[in-house]
Amino acid sequence: MNDDGRTGEGSINVRAAPETLWAMVTDVTRMGDWSPENERGEWLDGATGPVVGARFKGYNRRGRSKWSTTCEVTEAEPGRSFVFVTGGTGKPGTWWRYRFEPVDGGTLVTESFEMRKALGAGARLLTRATTGVTDRRGDMEEGIRTTLAALKQAAEREA
């Protein structure tokens, strides 16, 4: 990813099949099991799983601040990729991508984000005031590392 302040990523090797990891990540009701910010998710509009166009709501918490975000699935290829955008395709905020690549002994999982635009001074101030986070990009990258480590632990335990 380029270093424009809007993107970040992390990867980890997991001793589990790509299909297993894809099923775990795309079950948005479980994301709170490993994410440091997301508490849970729920499918909307009768959706029951990850298909392009399906929407879900993610419930997040950071310190005392709580918020929810409606997301739209833009890519869902079993065992290979899962992509969604906060705000939906009509008003995109941040794209979140998961890639699953088979490697010897398991899968390389890569999680990345791309904010549509860099946070302005007002948004940075609001984020700092409501969540205590002074570097949102750095915080999101740390969140990726935490999420991937917890996903690895859960997947290898369940395997």
CA distance 124 to 120: 6
CA distance 155 to 149: 10
Under 8 Å between Cβ of 116 and 92: yes
Share of the chain above pLDDT 70, in %: 84
Structural class in CATH, domain 7-158: alpha beta
CA distance 47 to 31: 17
- Residue 43 C-alpha from the chain's centroid: 15
pTM of the model: 0.86
Asked which of 18-22, 56-60, 91-95 is least confident by mean pLDDT, the reply is: 91-95
Radius of gyration of the chain (CA): 15
| Tokens 């791309």, located at residue | 114
Tens of pLDDT, residue by residue over 49-82, are 999 999 999 999 887 889 899 999 999 999 999 9
Instruction: Give the residues across from 159 on adjacent strands.
Output: none
> Which among 12, 68, 13, 64 has a CA at the least distance from the CA of 39?
68
- Residue 81 C-alpha from the chain's centroid: 12
pLDDT at 159 over 80: no
